[in-house]
Amino acid sequence: MDAKYEQLSGFTMSFANLLILLNFSALFLVAFVLWGAIKSTKRQVMSQLNRELLEVRRQIRTSMKGFDRLHDHVTDNHERILKIEVNVASIQDELEFVGSQVKGLLNFNAASNPDSEPVPDEERKPILD
């Protein structure tokens, strides 16, 4: 009976080894499948992330183009304002010069004709009648 027990015992050990081997191979197969699924998922996530980043880059480029156009408009308007300020200053200088000439002419006319008096407002006539 001991020989039969050793045979059965050897068979049992061999069967246990077979189960261990089967479990390890199943574990290896599951790990391999999971590794492939993880790589596939990673690839999909990276491709989706790449698409999202491309969209963000496109939106940033569009925004920057709009910002550049706005900056150009602001710069143009600033240059126009500076030109207008120069023109206003030039016109003020011309008006001061004309005013001083008119004042000089009025003083000259008043000095040359001492009998003249200023015309009252109600008696004045418009120049362009």
pLDDT tens per residue, the chain (129 residues)? 455 555 555 555 677 788 888 999 999 999 999 999 999 999 999 999 999 999 999 999 999 998 999 999 999 999 999 999 999 999 999 999 998 888 887 776 656 666 667 777 787 777 765
CB 76 within 8 A of CB 70: no
Say how many CA atoms lie within 13 Å of 10 toward its Cβ. 6
- Block residue for tokens 């690839």: 43
What's 123's DSSP letter? G
Global pTM reads 0.46
For residue 41, give both structure tokens: 């998922």
Q: Which helix (H) or strand (E) holds 114?
A: none
Using only the alpha carbons of the chain, give its radius of gyration.
Answer: 51
Q: What's the rounded Cα separation, in Å, for the pair 89 and 96?
A: 10
Q: What's the rounded Cα separation, in Å, for the pair 37 and 29?
A: 12
Say what the pLDDT of residue 14 is. Answer: 77
Say what the pLDDT of residue 122 is. Answer: 80
Say what the pLDDT of residue 26 is. Answer: 96
Say what the pLDDT of residue 1 is. Answer: 47
Q: What's the rounded Cα separation, in Å, for the pair 98 and 90?
A: 12
